[in-house]
Amino acid sequence: MTRIDRRFAKLKAEGRPAFVSYVMAGDPDLETSLEIVKGLAGAGVDVIELGLPFTDPMADGPTIQLAGQRALEAGMTLRKTLDVVRALRESDDDTPVVLMGYYNPIYSMGVETFLAEAQSAGVDGLIVVDLPPEEDEELCLPAQAAGLNFIRLATPTTDARRLPKVLSNTSGFVYYVSITGITGAAEAAASAVGPEVARIKASTPLPVCVGFGIKTPARAAEIGQVADGVVVGSAIVERIAAGDAPAQVLAFVKSLADAAHAARG
């Protein structure tokens, strides 16, 4: 079992959803980013999604795009992102870490080299938004062979014919994108999300986490009622962009995590 598998098994036994937080590695700079990442577990985060800065983030809205630009301008690279994970593992060997981004930086490093480095750094899973199931031999299957979960996105437009293909080599959890469009856009609603989560769960034993459009503790609690996990990214990144100190960012994260965890309390 990976750290991701163990964490979701624990949460299932406790009867509560996971809280998953996304931050961009190196935003606004390496030192600040590392301080935030190291504080996430203490703020109640169950799974850390760490963004890989990339020059052409086509699935991301302005908030995440600008975070990636800030990180790149501060000198962030894929290797330095792996160093962030290594630094985290010096004090935290339990919290799962998922790298989320695009294939180009991984391809440029070389898949074999990247997977070896990621595994040794303590990475647990990958979300690569521009690699469809038809390209599983590129990265998905080698990643699974290296012991990393490969987490796939399902969306409101993933119909009954497409869903089995999306789920075929997915592991760790399924990431349900609650709205059509880019990150940081409309707000998610449990009334729309609940039936979709149930539809996906009917086809897989994996946990289903819901992200996109969750910006407040109240909305995190609402989604936590119907999903196995609640993912928040843009709302956290907005606090970093506004210049909030790491302690302020982490206090906001804790408010979201507490709300998600209390959803079924």
Q: Render 164-216 in DSSP notation, one character per residue.
A: HHHHTT--S-EEEE-SSSSTT-SPP-HHHHHHHHHHHHTT-SS-EEEESS--S
pLDDT confidence of residue 182? 47
- Give the pTM: 0.95
Structurally, the chain folds into a number of domains equal to: 1
Phi and psi for 99 in degrees, rounded to 5? -85, 130
Which residues are designated catalytic? 49, 60
Q: What is the CA radius of gyration of the chain?
A: 17
Which residues of the chain are under the pLDDT cut of 50? 182, 184-185
Evaluate the CA torsion angle 182, 52, 43, 230 in order and state its sign. Answer: positive
pLDDT score of 184:
46
pLDDT tens digits for range 164-216? 999 999 999 999 998 755 454 456 677 889 999 999 999 999 999 999 889 99
Predicted pLDDT of residue 233: 95
Residue 265 is predicted with a pLDDT of: 62
Element (H or E) spanning 234, and its range?
helix 234-241
Question: What local confidence, expressed as pLDDT, does residue 38 receive?
Answer: 98
Structural domain for 226, as ranges? 3-264
Both tokens of residue 246?
């790491």
What's residue 61's pLDDT?
85
% of the chain with per-residue pLDDT over 90: 88
Cα(257)–Cα(229) distance, integer angstroms: 10
φ/ψ region of 175 (left if φ > 0, alpha if ψ in -120 to 50, else beta) reads beta
DSSP string, 33-82: HHHHHHHHGGGT-SEEEEE---S--TT--HHHHHHHHHHHHTT--HHHHH
Q: What is the CATH number of the domain that holds 153?
A: 3.20.20.70
